[in-house]
Structure formats: structure tokens, C-alpha cells
Amino acid sequence: MPARVVLGVGAGISAYKAGELLRLLTEAGHRVKVVPTKDALRFVGEATWAGLSGEPVLTDVWTGIAEAPHVKLGQEADLIAVVPATADLMARAAAGMAGDLLTATLLMATCPVVFAPAMHTEMWLHPATQANVTTLRERGAVVIEPAVGRLAGKDSGPGRLPDPAEIFAVITSILSQPETGNDLSGRRVLVSAGGTREEIDPVRFIGNWSSGAQGYALARTAVARGAEVTVVAANVALPDPAGAKIIQVTSAREMLTAVTEAAATADAVVMAAAVADYRPATRKAAKIKKDGQQPEPILLTENPDILATLAKYRQDKLDRTHQKQVLVGFAAETDTSPQAAKAKLARKGCDLLVVNPVGGGLGFGTADNEAVVYGMDGSVTEIPRGPKEALADVVWDLVAARLR
């Protein structure tokens, strides 16, 4: 549904990327009012914003003063996105200052507010900036973690503006589920995504068809709901979800190491990756060549059960600290019978098991998905076929209820 969006533009070199976000918002049918700061216009001029939005650009509180523009903008907006959000701009917003139209509008806002920070690494990591980010999040704003990459000049590190398409995905998720609000704010969540690969030799592997799309959809929707998100991604060739920390792995054993380390501080863990059950018992050091003879059989050995391992670690943690962690497993199955699902749920020891059918145009490599979620408490939640983001939101609904 079309929405009224205020796009606040901070004075950073990545302001030009906000133009791509503006294009995505307008093409989706949203009405966008651009509110750049005075110094932001040094990077991208007023004519550009007016041309891309098809709306007058609002730059100060004095133009149209009879209509009190900051009051009108803040009251009428369905969402405010600040892109890029500079250290100075977030500091002023956290302090409740209203020295320009954008910060005054933020003080009037009762709608969701999204900050997409962009700055040099040292500025992002400075205790003052981190304190301001914490304050904004505590007040209900979504502050997307910046990406890691090339910054202005020759510097590189955390502080890069996330890809505009990924920021757009976060905004879309918030607008599509306004009733969830920031129900994961302050929570740390871990998501696994993709499909593991087990090497046979230097050029071949045992793998599966998972693209990581469902795991990345879970990450995006968790970011939109205010969570601090870590993704352990196995062989995923998709753009990184905005605001999520990505840990790249290849094999099941690498995933086990990364997941168990990250899970130690997570409030919720969602294992959406397709993990290989077996691996070759030995990896050939050289490529296996075709020589006209019958090849040697490839002997397999069982991989560790990551979900069951996490359940055991969780129980140990509960015994020590009494802090409960919500654990969710995914099962891509050809046998989706309730009997098989409940037996697997009991065997794995997780709180929720999301059983999704594969084959026949469902599951791997598709834009949509369907599932039945079985709970250890006996609950059964059916999720009809639809976008993977919609399935992700239902999963987080169930997780959020258990975290409460």
C-alpha cells in the first residue's frame, strides 16, 4: 500500500546514494517528501531531489511558516528514513534538538523512524556515537548497522552506507507490518542461511540447492523489528541484508564453530541453513581424474547435528544462568506429515520447528515459501504460500511471543 515517507538526508558523501533509495520508494508508489539538511545540499542539490521525488523540497522551517511544516510532516508521515544518518545528525536527534527542519520533524514524529548511518569507522565506534545509537533504539527507532567496506578516501571498515536496495527492503518490511513495531528491540538474534558444501577434492563438493533467500529474509525482517542481527551464511551469493553482521562459512563443521560462538550471547537462534548431513570421509588432495576405470566409492561420514548441539548448549546455559534462549529449526522435507515433524522436533530439542515442503516449485531458489511451524508446547501454526519475508515475520511473531 502506498505510504507517505519523509526522506531526511544528512550531510555525508553517501548522500548521493539516497537518490537511488528515493527512486525505489517512488517506483513502489510511495509519496516521498525530501528534507535535506543545509549542508547535505552541498553534496546533492535541491533540483535533484525535486526532480526525483516530483515534490517540492523542504529545507528550512521558515518556508511556508503558516503551515508549520515540521508539525505537518511529523504528524502525516507513515515513516521517516534518515539516509545517510551522520554522527552529528544522530547526536542532535538523540539530544532532542530541533535546530533545523529535519530534527524538528523527528521530534514531532509518532511514526516508525529509520536511521541508516554512514561515517568513518572511528566516528561510528566512538563511545559517544554508540551511546546515541543506544538512546535512539531505546526510544523505538530502527538504527541499521552500517556495512563494512570502502569509505571516503582510502579508508575501509565499518561505517559504509548499506546498499540502497537493502535499506528499501527494511523500509518495506516496516511498512508492511506496522503492528509489530520494535518488538525485537534490544534483542540479539542469530540466523543461519544458505547451504553448506563438503569438499570431495579441490574442485568438487557435496552440496544442496539452498540459495540463502529465506535466511536473509529472516535477517531483514529482524532488523526491521529492531534486533541486533548476526547471520552465519554458507555459500550465499545474495546482497548482504542491511544492518546485519555477516559471518561467511563453507562447510557444516565451519558453521558449527561459528554458530556455537555467536549463539552464546543470542536471545534467539533461527537455523534456516540447509546443512549437509554427511561429508566425504577423506578429501582428496588432487582432482579426481577420469581414467576410464570405475572410480573409487566416496565413503561418507556423518556431520555434527548443529541444532541438537545448540539445544544441549542452551540447556547447559539455562542450568547456569537461568536465561532462556528461543531456538528455532528449519526442516526442508519431502515428508511433511505431522508425525514425522513432531518426532524431529522432539529429537532436535528446539522450541519451534519450521517444516517447509521442497520440490514442485517450492523451497530452494524460489521467491516464496510455505510451512507449518510445530512448537514444543504443542502449538501448530500454518503459514500459507507467500513471500519469504511474510513467512519470516510469522516466525519472528512466534519468537517474540516466547521472548516476552
Residues 143 and 208 in one domain: no
Domain boundary among 148, 176, 204: 176
Q: Cβ atoms within 10 A of the Cβ of 356, count?
A: 23
Print the SS3 string covering 160-215: ECCCHHHHHHHHHHHHHCHHHCCCCCCCEEEEEEEECCEEEECCEEECCCCCCHHH
Residue 84: is the preceding peptide bond cis (ω within 30°)? yes
| Total-model pTM | 0.85
Question: Do 334 and 240 lie in a common domain?
Answer: yes
Residue type, 344: K
Rounded CA-CA distance 404/402 in Å is 5
User: Which helix (H) or strand (E) segment is 145 a member of?
Assistant: none
Asked if residue 315 and residue 239 are part of one domain, the reply reads: yes
Whether 356 is catalytic? no
- Residue 160 and residue 147 in contact, taking contact as beta carbons nearer than 8 Å: yes
Residue 287 lies in a domain: no
d(CA 56, CA 78): 18
377 and 235 share a domain?
A: yes
The vertex-139 CA angle with 67 and 64, nearest 5°, equals: 10
One domain for residues 59 and 161: yes
Q: Rounded distance, CA 308 to CA 256, Å?
A: 11
Number of domain units in the chain: 2
Task: Give CA–CA dist 309/314, Å, rounded.
Answer: 9
Residues 145, 148, 152, 154, Cα dihedral to 10°: 160
C-alpha cell at 279: 561429508
State the pLDDT at residue 64.
66
Domain boundary among 111, 141, 176: 176
Query: One-letter amino acid identity for 213?
Result: A
Which contiguous run of DSSP H or E holds residue 224?
Answer: helix 213-224
In order of 40, 236, 356, the CA distances from 370 in angstroms are 44, 21, 6
Q: Is residue 70 part of a domain?
A: yes
Statement to judge: residues 299 and 372 lie in one domain: yes
**305 and 226 part of one domain:** yes
CA distances from 59 to 35, 108, 401 (A): 6, 16, 42
Rounded mean pLDDT for each run of 10 residues along the chain, 404 residues in total: 94 95 97 96 95 90 67 89 97 95 93 95 96 94 90 81 94 84 90 97 94 95 94 95 94 97 95 96 92 88 95 75 83 91 95 89 81 96 93 96 91
The cell numbers describing 387, all together, are 513471500
Within this chain, do residues 318 and 248 fall inside the same structural domain, yes or no?
Answer: yes
pLDDT at 318: 60
pLDDT at 206: 95
Whether residues 383 and 277 fall in one domain? yes
Report the CATH number at residue 93.
3.40.50.1950
Question: Based on the domain organization, do 275 and 328 belong to the same domain?
Answer: yes
Same domain? 42 vs 165:
yes
Rounded distance between C-alpha atoms, residue 309 and residue 307, angstroms: 5
Residue 288 domain flag? no
Neighbouring-strand partners of residue 8:
35, 82
User: Which of 150, 176, 202 is where one domain is finished?
Assistant: 176
The one catalytic residue in 132, 182, 208, 356 is: 208
Query: In terms of domains, do 148 and 222 share one?
Result: no
On whether residue 353 sits in a domain, the answer given is yes
In angstroms, the Cα distances linking 108 to 8, 103, 111, 254, 316 are 14, 9, 9, 48, 47
Q: Is residue 161 part of a domain?
A: yes
> Domain for residue 289, yes or no?
no
What pLDDT does residue 66 have? 56
- Residue 64 is assigned to a structural domain of this protein: yes
pLDDT in the model for residue 327: 97
Q: Would residue 182 count as lying in a domain?
A: no
CATH number at residue 218: 3.40.50.10300
What's the domain range around 299?
Answer: 188-282+294-403
